[in-house]
Amino acid sequence: MPTRMIPLNDGRQIPWLGFGTGTALLYKDATEAVRNAIAHGIVHLDGAQLYENEDTLGAGIAASGVPRETLFVTTKIADLAEGMTVRESFLGSLKRLRLDYVDLLLIHSPKRTLEGRVQEVWKEFEKFQQEGLAKSIGVSNFRIKDFEELLKVATVIPAVNQIEYNPYLYKSSQPLLEYMKKYNILATSWGGITPLVHLKGGPVDPVLVSIRERLEKDTGKTVTEGQVLGLWLRYQGIPQITSSSKLERVKEYLATEELPDLTEEEFQRINKEGAKKHHRVYCEWMDE
């Protein structure tokens, strides 16, 4: 099954479906989950220092036996220990991952110990890209004001902003997404199935059910509401970062790639219902 690819502003491409080692795998050994994900066809692997399992992400990649160049690996820097340079921090990640380079390196957050240091960190990221240690560079959980600060010094525009994004954040995210479009910065989504996990019974649910039924009728396949949310992201050209320790869930995510697109009317119905409730599970300061 071919992997859908989304273009980045630096001429490279990112696979639409990504397997994350946060959330369900946070602070856990991800070796077997990563190996299984790769064995079943996932090539986009999303890690982070903050998840405290880069070593097992690396172990899972090594255990998979697939050629490095067939994979797209992301990691993120969130904190710098006192006295540690950005370079030392990143080289530590590469060592834990057992890799010579990552495909995408992100500033995990403009908060935490990097607050007030975004410009400094970004200039180091640009050097890593020049050296081939990070093929693409970007950010995560950035607001417009964070971009404005970074862009004062940037010679490379971030390729990606990975954000919490689902129908209950569609309306509030529009100003940020419009700003990013000016610079051709791609949004990637984490927390995409929040409506099913953290807000069951919300206004979006009946629409997801009706779309699921339509897709099942049209395709003759079993479809889940989670897959409909994935299709909602795909309709917008936004990569979906998912996470699960369950193999059947990984297969479900992969099967989404074979489903037909939503119609424009279905997409707008989801947006309309999502706009009735604003619900952010993490990073509440993104609404500041």
Tokens of 215: 């897709």
Burial (CB count <10 Å: 0-12, 13-18, 19+), residue 72: buried
Express each pLDDT in 175-187 by its tens digit.
Answer: 999 999 999 999 9
Q: What are phi and psi of 240, to 5 degrees?
A: -105, 120
Q: Is the pLDDT of residue 56 over 80?
A: yes
Residue owning tokens 């630096």: 10
Q: Please report the pLDDT score of residue 113 as a whole number.
A: 87
Q: Is the pLDDT of residue 2 over 80?
A: no
Catalytic residue flag (residue 179): no
Query: What homologous superfamily is domain 5-193+236-245 in, according to CATH?
Result: NADP-dependent oxidoreductase domain (3.20.20.100)
Residue 35's contacts (CB-CB under 8 Å, 6 or more residues apart) are 60, 63, 64
Tokens of 193: 């199935």
Under a CB-based contact definition with an 8 Å cutoff, are residues 122 and 80 in contact?
no
Q: What is the pTM of this model?
A: 0.96
CA nearest to 140, candidates 287, 1, 283: 283
Q: Is the pLDDT of residue 259 over 70?
A: yes
Q: pLDDT band for position 55 (50/70/90)? A: very high
Side chain identity at residue 80, one-letter code: L
- Give dist(CA 98, CA 30) in Å, integer: 14
- Give dist(CA 256, CA 212) in Å, integer: 12
Q: Please report the pLDDT score of residue 197 as a whole number.
A: 87
Q: pLDDT band for position 1 (50/70/90)? A: low
Q: What are phi and psi of 218, to 5 degrees?
A: -75, -35
Of 27, 51, 170, 235, which is the active-site residue?
Answer: 51
Q: Is the pLDDT of residue 49 over 90?
A: yes
Establish whether 40 is an annotated binding residue: no
CA nearest to 126, candidates 161, 89, 159, 81: 159
Distances (CA, A) of 211 to 230, 249, 254, 264, 274: 12, 20, 19, 12, 15
Beta bridge partners of 72: 44
- Give dist(CA 136, CA 197) in Å, integer: 31
Instruction: Provide the CB-side half-sphere exposure for 17 (13 A, CA).
Output: 25
Domain boundary assignment for the chain? 5-193+236-245
- Give dist(CA 267, CA 207) in Å, integer: 10
Under a CB-based contact definition with an 8 Å cutoff, are residues 107 and 93 in contact?
no
| Across 88-115, average pLDDT | 96
| Across 56-79, average pLDDT | 97
